[in-house]
């Protein structure tokens, strides 16, 4: 798949973008594309992720997305660096070990909800006042197809991502017409997320699903790669989606068709 941006020159130039959880596989691909398109980008992620991948962004801020005060401080620092904020893409999230929901420990449930749903609330809460100051305020949450299509042994992750999608729609209603808020919901993507997670592992574990075997059951014949998710995100950040808010784009090669 090509790395050259598909978008016309100038569409995104000068857009001030915050990418939270932006040092994973999808985040690094997104930042690369956004910088090539002329956006000004700040990334937040775990300190452990910065040690491994921090070179991929012009400016990176350590942030614990499960901690409201850490999110508030990181957003303030990002806005100060950018001189304002036009858009935010939230990529924060992670799974627990494969386990039936009824067998999930309460502590694991609490942690996964904090890392996927609470974090999205904190990020939304602290970026929205700044997005309201922009002429093109835009917030894109990255959820998961598991938030709409339940599968066994994903524990708290699916319910957390389902909550995120409902929260996104509520926020879209409350902040229209000034700020557009949408989401993408990918299926499995061939990144470190399947191997323990960026910043939460050494990224070398066996994948949760085998990419080749997974691709054989996808109608389009392969597992997703990061750019398959990046381009729909860019669509939501662009004027091409100017009449969209409160929507979820499912990116799964045809495995789930709502």
DSSP-based three-state secondary structure for 238: coil
**Mean pLDDT throughout 159-174?**
98
What is the spatial distance between Cα 233 and Cα 223, in angstroms, rounded to a whole number? 18
Torsion of CA 53, 59, 64, 70, to 10 degrees: 170
| Neighbour tally for 111: CB within 10 Å | 15
Beta-sheet pairing, 60-62 with 87-90: unpaired
What is the spatial distance between Cα 80 and Cα 90, in angstroms, rounded to a whole number? 19
- Report domain 16-251's class: alpha beta
pTM, whole model, 2 decimals? 0.91
Q: Which stretch of 102-116, 142-156, 186-200, 204-218 has the lowest confidence by average pLDDT?
A: 186-200
How much is the pLDDT for 1? 46
65-97, pLDDT tens digit by residue?
A: 999 999 999 999 999 999 999 999 999 999 888
What is the spatial distance between Cα 238 and Cα 7, in angstroms, rounded to a whole number? 9
Name the percent of the chain lying above pLDDT 90. 76
Sheet holding 180-186, edge to edge: 60-62, 40-45, 16-20, 87-90, 138-142, 180-186, 248-251
**Mean pLDDT throughout 228-257?**
97
188 or 52, which is more confident:
188
DSSP-based three-state secondary structure for 208: coil
What is the spatial distance between Cα 1 and Cα 45, in angstroms, rounded to a whole number? 27
Domain-by-domain residue ranges, the chain? Answer: 16-251
The CA-atom distances, in angstroms, between 150 and each of 94, 123, 207 are 16, 25, 20
Packed helices 157-175 and 119-131: angle between N→C axes, nearest 10 degrees: 20
How much is the pLDDT for 257? 92
């Amino acid at each position: 798949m090509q790395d050259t941006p598909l978008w016309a020159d100038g569409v995104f130039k000068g857009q001030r973008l915050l990418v939270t959880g932006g040092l994973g596989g999808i985040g690094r691909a997104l930042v690369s594309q956004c910088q090539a398109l002329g956006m000004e980008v700040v990334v937040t992620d775990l300190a452990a992720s910065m040690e491994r991948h921090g070179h991929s962004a012009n400016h990176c801020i350590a942030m614990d997305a499960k901690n409201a005060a850490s999110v508030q401080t990181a957003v303030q620092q990002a806005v100060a660096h950018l001189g304002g904020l036009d858009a935010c893409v939230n990529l924060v999230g992670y799974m627990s070990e494969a386990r039936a929901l009824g067998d999930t420990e309460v502590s694991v449930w609490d942690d996964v909800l904090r890392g996927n749903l609470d974090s999205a609330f904190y990020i939304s809460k602290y970026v929205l006042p700044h997005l309201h100051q922009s002429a093109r305020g835009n917030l894109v949450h990255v959820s998961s197809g598991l938030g709409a299509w339940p599968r066994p042994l994903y524990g708290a992750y699916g319910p957390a991502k389902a909550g995120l999608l409902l929260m996104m729609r509520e926020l879209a209603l409350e902040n229209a017409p000034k700020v557009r808020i949408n989401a993408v919901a990918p299926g499995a993507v061939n990144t470190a997320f399947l191997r323990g997670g960026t910043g939460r592992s050494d990224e070398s574990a066996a994948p949760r699903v085998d990419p080749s075997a997974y691709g054989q059951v996808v109608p389009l014949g392969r597992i997703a790669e990061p750019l398959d998710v990046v381009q729909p995100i860019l669509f939501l950040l662009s004027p091409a989606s100017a009449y969209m808010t409160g929507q979820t784009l499912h990116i799964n090669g045809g495995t789930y068709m709502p």
